[in-house]
Structure 1
Amino acid sequence: MPDWVQMIIRSFLMFLFIVTLLRIVGRKQISQMTYSDFVVGITIGTAAALIAFNVIPNLVNGLLGLTAWVLFLIGLNVLTMKSKWFHDLFRGRETILVRRGKVLEDNLKEVQYTPEELLSQLRRKNIFHLADVEFAVMEANGEVSVMLKSEQTPITPKHLEWAVASQAEPQTVVLDGNIMDEALTGQGLNRQWLQTELDKIGISLANVFIGQVDANGDLFVDLFDDAIEIPKPKTKELLYATLKKCEADLAMFALDTDQPEVKRQYQVSSEVIEEVAQSLRSKLIR
């Protein structure tokens, strides 16, 4: 068998072997690599390349060596889950960089971070003012986690004591111009509904690259032709405006009348519509 054929076969076998071993180890090694993971990953990759290019001629011995490294990594994972001491030794531990708004210079030197690098990490999280930071910590994998000061924290419905329903993830109903019937059915919709929504914005199905329906039943589309501007539907905004106008009209009628009973009815009706408009505001206003 020619050498180049052997190299291709070995490379393919090593690819399958490495992918299988990594799936056994777990996905965390890819998404959250620490120093020990990095060392083991380089070693496994180097050994796989040496086997594939026949630098290590004995395939069985090479695979046994790779398996031993992976078993070592699995054993290390078990130890770090069982023991805090092992975890800090092999995975590292977090380091506080900012506490109560003050940068800890000694800790910056410990992780070999310059002030510029700290500011760069903050900018990656859309934080451009160091004064906005209450607490920042470098995790064991090198990621910097940040907590903003209370006055800089974005307002959420919880802060305003608004009761909001949980939302399901958007469903992709059109992909590359093709309708995903299963996703449509899962949302309680059909092709006729989809065509009606596309007609509202004057877009043909053939020009839709991606179409998604959110939890509120709104359709978002991305087109093949980026030069086409998609008009934003105004139905919900108009409904909210109509409700607010009815509320204002009823309040005005209550002020204009001198009859106590009629005034009371107008006021009650205005309050009811105000309550309805307030409860639907988050769904009608984007």
Structure 2
Amino acid sequence: MVPEWLQVSFRTLMAVLVLFVLTRLLGKRQVSQLSTFEYITGISIGNMAAYLSLDTDSHWLLGLVALVAWVTLSLAIEYLQLKSKKARDLIDGKATVLIQNGKILERNLKKERITSDELLEMLRRNSVFNIDTVEFAILDTSGELNVLLKKQYQPLTPSDIGMVVTPEKAPMTIIMDGKVLEDSLKRVGLNENWLNAKLKQLGTRHEDIYLAQVDSQNKLYLDPFDRQAQNTH
């Protein structure tokens, strides 16, 4: 007879592994921004996994079938949403305009059960403290409020003054944990000789650098090791 504590340990381990595989199958959006159905699916799957881990009288295979059935249903609904706009509107709902042409739409606030205080709080989260500066505000199905400021209150961009700018590339990490990443250097058209010359000018070595990045203009950013933190280990 297998001890009960060993059964629970094995079931928990298996539940975690199965949940990890199924969650990866559902995709990144399942983790980052949950729709209403995805939220229900996540809670249900988590509850089933916890139940299977602790209830040693339940049938393990039947529990796995239930988990797979939930994930299959979720994937089927997501596929339906990809194929049909009506299905997306039915399952996820539609975005709601809360402010239009600088005017608060009170009827839509009541529809979404949002008070004026809550609207002001949501605007402050978008760094908006004066409603008079808002041209348009829409509540997305994720519950996030997106705000468009009136033209005169929008930040000035290079295109507004006719300035031509070159495309910006993401910085490339070339040193990590004191080790030079040669492949990263090659991707930006540089080599280790260039890096060593730069480090020599700054009076340091790559062994002393925790992390270093270079941008599209070959500007070098260095973050040295915290020696005090190293000495405490």
State the alpha-carbon separation in 2 of the partners of residues 105 and 224 from structure 1: 55
2:108 and 2:46 map into 1 onto residues whose CA distance is: 33
Deviations 1:172-220 (A, max 9, x none): 0111222211111211222222222233334443442221100110001
1:204-251 Cα shifts (integer Å, max 9, x gaps): 434422211001100012233499xxxxxxxxxxxxxxxxxxxxxxxx
2:201 is aligned to 200
Find the aligned partners of 2:208 and 2:76 in 1 and give their Cα distance: 53
Note the C-alpha offset of 1:38.
Answer: 0.8
Pairwise mapping of residues 124-139 of structure 1 onto structure 2 (< 5 A)?
124-139=125-140
Larger radius of gyration: 1
Separation of aligned partners in 2, 1:52 and 1:138: 39
With structure 1 as the length reference, what TM-score do the two structures score?
0.73
| Aligned twin of 1:4 | 5
Q: Which residue of 1 aligns with 2:155?
A: 154
- Given that 1:50 and 1:56 are in contact with CA atoms closer than 8 Å, whether structure 2 keeps it comes out as no
1:99·1:136 contact (CA, 8 Å) conserved in 2?
Answer: yes
Question: What's the CA shift string for 1:8-35, capped at 9, x where partnerless?
Answer: 2211211121121122222222222122
The alpha-carbon deviation at position 135 of structure 1 amounts to 0.8
In 2: Cα distance, 1:20 partner to 1:71 partner = 13
Is 1:85 aligned to 2:101, yes or no? no
- The 1-side partners of 2:227 and 2:129 are apart by 32
Please say if residues 4 and 56 of structure 2, whose CA atoms lie closer than 8 Å, have aligned partners that are also in contact: no
The alignment status of 1:20 with 2:18, answered yes or no, reads no
Q: Give the structure, 1 or 2, with the largest relative contact order (CA under 8 Å, sep 6 or more).
A: 2
Structure 1 letter corresponding to 2:196? Q
How far apart are 1:137 and its partner, in Å?
0.6
Q: 1:56 to 1:180 in 2, by over 3 A?
A: farther
Give, in angstroms, the shift of residue 94 of structure 1.
0.6
* CA drift at 1:131: 2.0
1:55 shift after superposition:
5.2
SS at match of 1:158: helix
Q: Which moved more, 1:113-122 or 1:201-210?
A: 201-210
Distance in 2, Cα, partners of 1:100 & 1:203: 57
CA distance in 2 between partners of 1:30 and 1:115 (Å): 30
C-alpha distance in 2, partners of 1:18/1:87? 26
Which moved further from structure 2: 187-196 or 135-144?
187-196
2:158 maps to a residue whose letter is P
User: Is the alpha carbon distance of 1:206 and 1:123 closer, same or farther for their aligned partners in structure 2, counting shifts above 3 Å?
Assistant: farther
- Given the two structures, how large is their TM-score scaled by the length of structure 2? 0.88
- Using the TM superposition, name which of 60-69 and 118-127 deviates more: 118-127
SS in 2 for 1:14: helix
Instruction: Say which is worse superposed, 171-180 or 79-88, in terms of deviation.
Output: 79-88
Instruction: Give structure 2 stretches of 5+ with no counterpart.
Output: 229-233
What is the rounded CA distance, in whole Å, between the counterparts of 1:61 and 1:93 in structure 2?
A: 37
Residue 50 of structure 1 and its aligned partner are, at CA, apart by 0.7
Residue 221 of structure 1 aligns with an amino acid whose one-letter code is L
**Corresponding position: 1:187 with 2:152:** no
Structure 1: how far apart are the matches of 2:208 and 2:58?
A: 55
CA distance in 1, matches of 2:118, 2:158: 34
Structure 1 range deviating more: 130-139 or 101-110: 101-110
Q: Secondary structure at the match of 2:158?
A: coil
Native 8 Å contact 2:7 2:56 kept in 1: no
Separation in structure 2 between the aligned mates of residue 120 and residue 208 of structure 1, nearest angstrom: 42
Check 1:55–1:102 CA distance in 2 against 1; reply closer, same or farther (3 A cut): farther
Question: Unmatched 5+ residue regions in structure 1?
Answer: 228-286
